[in-house]
Amino acid sequence: MSKINFLRPDKENLNTFLYLGSLLFFVSVLDVFLNSFFNVNITGFLPTLLSFVIPLVIGFIGLHFIRIEHSGYKFLDSLNKNINTNGFNAVLSLLIIFVIIKATPPILSWFFVDASFAGDSKDVCSGSGACWTYIKVWFNRFMYGMYPNAEQWRINLSFISLALLGSVGYFATEKFKKYLTLYYVVIYPFIAFLFIFFFISGGPVFFDFSYGIIAAVISIILGFFIPSRFKFYYFLIVPLTIYIVLKYFVFYEELIELGKLDGLNWVETGAWGGLSLTFIISFFCLIFCFPIGMAFALGRRSDLPLIRYISVGFIEFWRGVPLITVLFMSAVMFPMFLPEDFFIDKLVRAIIAISLFEAAYVAEVIRGGLQALPRGQYEAAKSLGMGYWKSHFFIILPQALKIVIPGITNTFIALFKDTPLVFVVGLLEILGMINLAKTNPNWLGLATEGYVFAAFVYWAFCFWMSRYSLKLENRLKTSN
């Protein structure tokens, strides 16, 4: 072992510095941990200021000793690269670790130890912790808003059915994957629209459309197993046949008139709310804003001046106004310009407004992907004899969209988090229902629990979207 220089740790004395540095770092963290969790202060015999600074100094010295480049230990090299590159970063890392340790006991105490879970009234929430009883009692409203309790099965059945129909792509064989684009772009949104606006809304109109929904679903599922040479005749005959059988032989009108098959009660969109409304708004806005944004991204790069100027004007207009202003205009001003006998539901107006607003951002994200492609891709498509549309759909857009997956995901996450602004049009999604619940005289003073619950819900779904986009990005990654 060579002479040890404590000011400049080297690789020759790696084990010595590693053991000594790890010990000092462990002692500093242990001191803060014992003080935070058990109120035991190892350096309590020192003055208050020194007692506060000593763990930081000891930890700093420990990190200094293990800051050895190319040590040969993968974990140590990764640690030094990320949180221990120099003395300043070492101090910041220690402060963050100490703050986390200090904050953990009161957070655990508020969330779990002193929290109230049982009961069904505010009277049980007498401790200093969170009152999760409030969330338990109001959970149903946070999920469904003011939707009637007896009819909430319609929302559950709709979401489960759409989730199952949306997972068709995971089970489709290579033979049928070429039809998935048509399914997800045209058929699936149409089925979702019928489910949401006629099954969840209910009313007499439900029966006229439910036959079509069931016929379409059955036909699509069975269609994956039909040989290609019969598909044209299959989709020409079978859906109509199933519709006629359902309408005139299974759910014929005499049954409805005799009261043997009751219709679904009409539920106005003003009663929709909670997390289910958040999903409905986000789902349709995602479906509509993406193709609109793609069209304006292509239009902004068009060689035709009229199309280019219209696209630029649309994008700059919608990006230049706040979303809350757009929703206010759709709720208050837009109906003034409609004929007296013409009515558009406020939920539809909100979805249209958010879709147009987010489409402007999607357009700019996609335009960035189009500009990132090398000019050779366009020239290669032309050399193959492809026209504008064919080259863009088969060569340009697939590559551009793959490049901008992170940007598109970021826009979709922002859209999901913008849904609380629909309170402007009188709709109460999950955060709106929490704001309503906190004003209830029987539950005053419990806003914190509601906001923490909402934050967790939004974080969970946003985190899932980000992880899914990362998985999709890695799956589509190609080598240069």
How far apart CA 45 and CA 51 sit, in angstroms, is 8
CB 290 within 8 A of CB 448: no
**Residue 474 identity (one-letter amino acid):** N
Nearest CA to 281 out of 389, 429, 104 is that of: 429
- What's the pLDDT score for residue 258? 42
Tokens of 74: 């993968």
C-beta of residue 179 within 8 angstroms of C-beta of residue 171 = no
Along the 480 residues of the chain, how does pLDDT read in single tens digits? 557 767 788 788 888 888 999 999 999 999 999 989 988 887 777 777 777 889 999 999 999 999 988 888 888 889 888 889 999 999 999 999 999 999 999 999 999 988 988 888 888 887 788 999 999 999 999 999 999 999 999 999 999 988 888 888 777 777 677 677 777 777 788 788 877 777 888 755 445 556 666 777 777 767 766 776 776 667 678 777 877 787 777 665 555 544 444 567 888 888 999 999 999 999 999 989 999 999 999 999 998 999 999 999 999 999 999 999 999 998 888 888 878 778 888 898 999 999 999 999 999 999 999 998 888 888 888 888 888 888 888 888 888 988 999 999 999 999 999 999 999 888 999 999 999 999 999 898 889 999 999 999 999 999 999 999 998 888 877 654
Q: Cβ neighbours of residue 315 under 8 Å, at least 6 residues apart?
A: 296, 300, 360, 363, 364
217's CB contacts (< 8 A; 6+ apart) are 161, 165, 191
Backbone angles phi, psi at 476, to 5 degrees: -90, 0
Closest CA to 84 of 139, 75, 324: 75
| C-alpha–C-alpha distance, residues 66 and 401, integer Å | 44
Exposed e or buried b for every residue in 385-403, given b needs 16+ CB within 10 A?
ebeeeebbeebbbebbbeb
Query: Residue for token digits 């239009």?
Result: 299
Biggest alpha carbon–alpha carbon distance for the chain? 100
Q: Give one word for 294, left, alpha or beta, with left for phi > 0 and alpha for psi -120 to 50.
A: alpha
Return d(Cα 64, Cα 57) in angstroms, integer: 10
